[in-house]
Structure 1
Amino acid sequence: MTVIPEVAGVLARDDVLRTARSIAEVQQADGGVPWPDGHVDAWNHIECLMAMSVAGLVEPVRRGYEWLVRHQRVDGSWPMKIVDGRAVEHGGESNHAAYIAVGVWHELLVTGDEDFAREMWPVVRSALNFVVDLQTPRGEIVWERTASGRPADYALLTGCSSIHQGLRCGVRLAERLGDPQPEWELAADRLAHVLAAHPEAFADRSRFSMDWYYPVLGGAVRGDAGRARIAAQWDTFVVPGLGIRCVSDQPWVTGAETCELVMALDALGDRERALKLFTDMQHMRHEDGSYWTGWQFVTGKWFPHEQSAYTAASVILAADALSGASPASGVFRDTAAPALRTSPLASCGCHAASHT
């Protein structure tokens, strides 16, 4: 029996169900869950499936996974953008591919349906092998393989943080299904080290709030280091009463980033601030249960002027993390990198670069 999340005094179960239905209403006939402009990418699509699963919307979720099976390519990746069932951007993003492991592991936790997980296992295995093949000798994973087959020449901090979670979920799924993949665990350990100790390994996207909190959300940086990371730029990104900025230099708060920070704070045990931020961002709720993407608080306008399925999905997943309603409510909290027996710096003899 599905127990739909609720957050006392903020969102009732009926509110969460309406939000999940707002995602289902934009799902396309072929099962894809699009951005407001009509394109589908695997990462946001999977996030929307996870949210609908928490709310018990079984049929649209399974149609969404069928979409992923149909559109996965031989190398394990998905096209960056798909419109009306056709690829319009042909490169394969590593973080898009890795997120299938999070989605299938989440679905298994929610439903207990091991037969479904076994059906999806070849998809997950192929996707994570594509991801691991893009890991550099230092440990970061470059952000794409181009349509011509060439690996990108740089990595993204947010993307690699999400990949870290994908690898950890993939390892757990592999063990559950009796097909261990120790190379994925090794890749995750190496990636966690680079995320924690080598900011110079990643392209500079520091104006984006995601580069601030995602190493915590993805599980590579937790504990005291995670709390210090969040404290360092709290005043830069958090707008009291509204949510968090998408980028540091614009007066623009966004719902998805705010809810992801909620889940990062929850993973650190900082539930008081997590609940406060979750409450603050509810001004973005539309009367139909969907959520506006962002609010420009100087002009006083919604920006962009749209409700996005991925924002609605992030709200549901944050509500689940805060309430502990579903068996998958800890899918972000529980994917932390295991503590190393030795200092992570000693493990490679390196010296950590300071964050600037």
Structure 2
Amino acid sequence: MPTAELPAVPGVLSARDCLRTAETIAAAQESDGALPWFTGGHTDPWDHIENAMALTVAGLWDQARDAYRWSAKTQRADGSWPMQFRAGVIENADADTNFCAYIATGVLHFLTSTDDFEFVREMWPTVRAAVDFVLSLQQGDFGEIHWSLGPGGSSGAALLTGCSSIFHSLRCALSLADQLDDPQPSWEVAALRLGHALRDHPEAFLDKSRYSMDWYYPILGGAIRGRAAYDRITSRWEDFVVPTLGIRCVSDQPWVTGAETCELVLALDALGDNRRARQLFINMQHLREADGSYWTGLVFTDGKRWPEERTTWTAAATLLAADALTRTTPANNIFRDLPRPTRITASHCACATSPTH
């Protein structure tokens, strides 16, 4: 049974509703601890961690520990993970840097929720190796991090969404390092460079501006806040937000998705925009099933669920958003209040020392 208070969003979801959602995630967990997209589906290292965080929110701490131990067991010697597993078999051996970095966010979330320093010390070598791997691909001119590594080498390109998530994970890793008395000053330098790239060098990243994640992720990850963040949200609100339904995954497609909507909820919550955050959370509940699971999305021109999948990570994003909105668990602020090294003071980049930065 849960050992923590569960979120309850008045008039939307009860604590029991949130527990039922967490139980649908736990039901998909495989015997080795992996948390696939759905029963029989594939597991990727990022969504696996998102699911572990949701289990933590619901007080299902043993299942969350099993998930983190799966990450430790499946990590490769260079600190990376394959992009995709299915039933314990590697389906895609390439490494995604954002996928690898997210372990730091998950482990800090678990520590903040449980105060289980013993378990976090067990996980720390895994986190440290993952971060070192990710930073080995910080090969861009401005501090951006290449998005993948395969047999042919680095992808040679960076993604805005992925790097925004990595920026957040680096901040989480730095917080863990401080709390475990294992300072990592090189990580802080890397985070400062990456934050600079995210704010000031859009040319460093592939153009994926059709996707809503490129719109809100620099805010969710903490690289952009304040007036610049509000202006960014305003600039494309009409492109992505579909009243009463949630947000589009892609600006030119009639498809709203639950996970992206809940991530925007988290980004708005981080800006203190509670009214719009709560309304979006209400709007996406049409994706909820009676058992507490969530459909991935809806094609609103024909009213059809698509894909015909109820994904664990959509349920997980919903629980993380509920926790943030209600300030329930000790880790409800994981995307809101982390101390953030965002301002670089010295760089080879001329714009870093210009009067406007």
TM-score by length of 1: 0.95
The secondary structure found in structure 1 opposite 2:335 is coil
Taking the aligned partners of 2:179 and 2:96, their CA distance within structure 1 comes to: 26
Task: Read off the aligned partner of 1:19 and give its amino acid letter.
Answer: T
* 2:188–2:341 contact (8 Å) kept in structure 1: no
Gaps of 5+ in 1: none
Does residue 23 (structure 1) correspond to residue 21 (structure 2)? The answer is no
Deviates most, 224-233 or 56-65: 56-65
Partner of residue 104, structure 1: 107
RMSD: 1.8
* 1:220–1:336 contact (8 Å) kept in structure 2: no
Matches within 5 A, 1:29-178: 29-36=31-38, 38-136=41-139, 137-148=141-152, 150-178=153-181
Taking the aligned partners of 1:343 and 1:234, their CA distance within structure 2 comes to: 34
> Structure 1, residues 222-259: CA drift from partner, whole Å, max 9, x if none?
11111111110000000000000000011000000000
* 1:221–1:337 contact (8 Å) kept in structure 2: no
Gaps of 5+ in 2: none
Partner of residue 6, structure 1: 8
Q: How many residue pairs were aligned?
A: 351
Taking the aligned partners of 1:39 and 1:340, their CA distance within structure 2 comes to: 38
The 4+ residue runs of structure 1 with deviation greater than 2 A are 335-352
The secondary structure found in structure 1 opposite 2:352 is coil
* 2:135–2:190 contact (8 Å) kept in structure 1: yes
Matches within 5 A, 1:1-356: 1-36=3-38, 38-136=41-139, 137-148=141-152, 150-335=153-338, 337-338=340-341, 340=343, 348-349=352-353
Taking the aligned partners of 2:346 and 2:120, their CA distance within structure 1 comes to: 36
Deviation of 1:348 after TM superposition, in Å, equals: 2.7
What is the aligned-residue identity percentage? Answer: 54
* 2:75–2:81 contact (8 Å) kept in structure 1: yes
Taking the aligned partners of 1:7 and 1:341, their CA distance within structure 2 comes to: 38
Task: Read off the aligned partner of 1:9 and give its amino acid letter.
Answer: G
* 2:192–2:344 contact (8 Å) kept in structure 1: no
The secondary structure found in structure 1 opposite 2:13 is coil
* 1:266–1:333 contact (8 Å) kept in structure 2: yes
> Structure 1, residues 251-304: CA drift from partner, whole Å, max 9, x if none?
000000000000000001100000000011111100000001001100110001
Taking the aligned partners of 1:139 and 1:336, their CA distance within structure 2 comes to: 20
